Chains A and B, each alone.
Chain A
Amino acid sequence: MNFEFLGEYWHYFVDGTKVTLLLSIFTVVLGAIFGTLLSLMRLSGLTPVRLLATAYIEFFRGTPIIIQVFLVYYSLPQLIEGFRFPPFPFLEQYGGEFTAAVITLALNSTAYVAEIMRAGIQSVDKGQMEAARSLGMKPWMSLRLIIIPQAFRTVLPALGNELIVIIKETSIVSVIGLGELMFNADTVKGSLSKPFEPLIIAALIYLVITFTLSKLVGRLERRLKRSHA
């Protein structure tokens, strides 16, 4: 093992890490918002809405994410004449690939978050909704102020797990040539003909990110628990 190449190639890993983190942040935020909305659709009393949400969730949970990436990245431009993924606002340097990657990862994460939030919402006692409604709150306000905060607290460990999964799964978008951590490690590997060392560096960086986040989530969990002990 010899890591001397880092002296010359370190910026590949720094740049890659930056892209990986940006991808993860956008995916988490979009996944959390749309996942929560989808979980409400999944619990809707309207059968067509519920079926649509269920179909969405089953598709994105039941097919490999690598296929989803290819489907979004290659099929949209084929289906729509002249369509190209526009560069992501403020991150134009990463090209349309970044946009396609965020869209795919967010579509995928939405499905997982929806299932987590559904379980959380169902775990809230139905008396909570009745109390909110009996005060005169409308359904949406009751969900927003009473049900979802409690559901969120219950499923925080599962959401933390999803966060870590997302960070690792961003590596899949290296297949469309976006220069995130995995892609850059691969680039270094190719140009040096060193099979292991660049991958070990990348793995360590992923580990540092996920480990830090799992500690932060753990701390948040303890704080929320204390605040309504």
Chain B
Amino acid sequence: MLNIKNLHKHFGKLNVLNGIDMEVDKGEVVVVIGPSGSGKSTFLRCLNLLEVPTDGEIMFEGISITDKKTDINAVRQKMGMVFQQFNLFPHLSVQDNITLAPRKLKNYSAQQANETAADLLRKVGLSEKAKSYPDQLSGGQKQRIAIARALAMSPDVMLFDEPTSALDPEMVGEVLDVMKKLAKDGMTMVVVTHEMGFAREVGDRVVFMDGGVIVEQGPPAEVFTNPKHERTREFLGKVL
């Protein structure tokens, strides 16, 4: 589904990504871990071109999205993204946050969009919040709404950029639960996270990044219990 070849990203003289190759299959949950500054968030943001790669190619469902001729707006409709800081639209109600994109981009009728929103709100366990505004929600609730908003476009892949890093510890669980449910339903997911428990439990594959390259990857059981590289061992030693 996703095929990344030799991805480079430089910010001026700073080389953040130094040649990443990766494939993500349909239905796969790939968890990207690594120390701060390893380039994992930049990598994720390159996948939907929020950051424009300096070099390399990204294929998504057979289309090269790094090709300048590709309509990136159309591609993004099939790639949901969830941010560390939620980025809900504060001037819109929860329901409007979820229905805005389907109404404007997929020409859903108001009723159709509201039904979709109701389904999604049930899925993330926040049916009673449809009329609330983002400021009235806790961090965990905001992030669950943000997930619902991304799902409203029925994307083929979901990108998660440290979705629990800005949350109080007691709210991490509720967001991870929603993500687990999503994984179980067969959603293709690329998740950048510091939650090793989630990586181990839900990930089909764990990718360890450091210094802008993939150091090691494999099934969680293998990477966590038997890391091959010194840097992976060192990192896991610190976080586990």
Contact = CB atoms under 8 A, between A and B. Distances in A.
Interface of A: 125, 127-128, 130-138, 141, 145-146, 149-150, 153, 227-229
B101 A136 contact: yes
Contacts of A150: 89-91
B73 A137 contact: yes
A183 B133 CA distance: 49
A146 B97 CA distance: 10
Contact of B83 (A131, A149, A227, A228): A131
Tell me the interface secondary structure of chain A in the complex: helix
Contacts of B77: 135-136
A135 B101 contact: yes
B91 A149 contact: yes
B83 A130 contact: yes
Nearest to A131: B87
A137 B87 CA distance: 15
Contacts of A136: 73-77, 101, 105, 153
B150 interface: yes
Given A135-B153, A136-B105, A228 B90 contact: yes
A227 B76 contact: no
Contact of B104 (A127, A128, A137): A137
A130 B87 contact: yes
B90 A138 contact: no
Interface in B41-79: 48, 50, 73-77, 79
B100 interface: yes
B25 interface: no
Given A136-B153, A138-B73, A227-B133, A128 B87 contact: yes
B32 to A, nearest CB: 17
A153 B150 CA distance: 25
Interface in B3-49: 48
B81 interface: yes
B149 interface: yes
Contacts of B100: 135, 145
Given A133-B50, A135-B149, A135-B150, A141 B89 contact: no
Given A128-B89, A130-B50, A137 B83 contact: no
Given A149-B91, A229-B135, 20 more contacts: A127-B87, A131-B81, A131-B88, A131-B89, A133-B50, A133-B73, A134-B81, A134-B150, A135-B76, A135-B77, A135-B101, A136-B105, A137-B101, A145-B104, A150-B89, A227-B133, A228-B133, A228-B134, A228-B135, A229-B136
Nearest to A144: B104
Contacts of A141: 104
Contact of B87 (A125, A138, A153): A125
11 contacts: A127-B85, A130-B87, A133-B50, A137-B73, A137-B105, A138-B73, A149-B91, A227-B133, A228-B133, A228-B134, A229-B136
B105 A135 contact: yes
Nearest to B146: A131
A128 to B, nearest CB: 6
A35 B88 CA distance: 27
Interface in B67-122: 73-77, 79-81, 83, 85, 87-91, 100-101, 104-105
Interface string B136-156: 100000000010011001000
A79 to B, nearest CB: 44
A133 B150 CA distance: 11
A229 B133 contact: yes
Contacts of A146: 89
Contacts of B150: 134-135
A227 B91 CA distance: 8
Contacts of B87: 125, 127-128, 130-131
B101 A228 contact: no
B88 to A, nearest CB: 8
Nearest to A136: B77
Contacts of B81: 131, 134
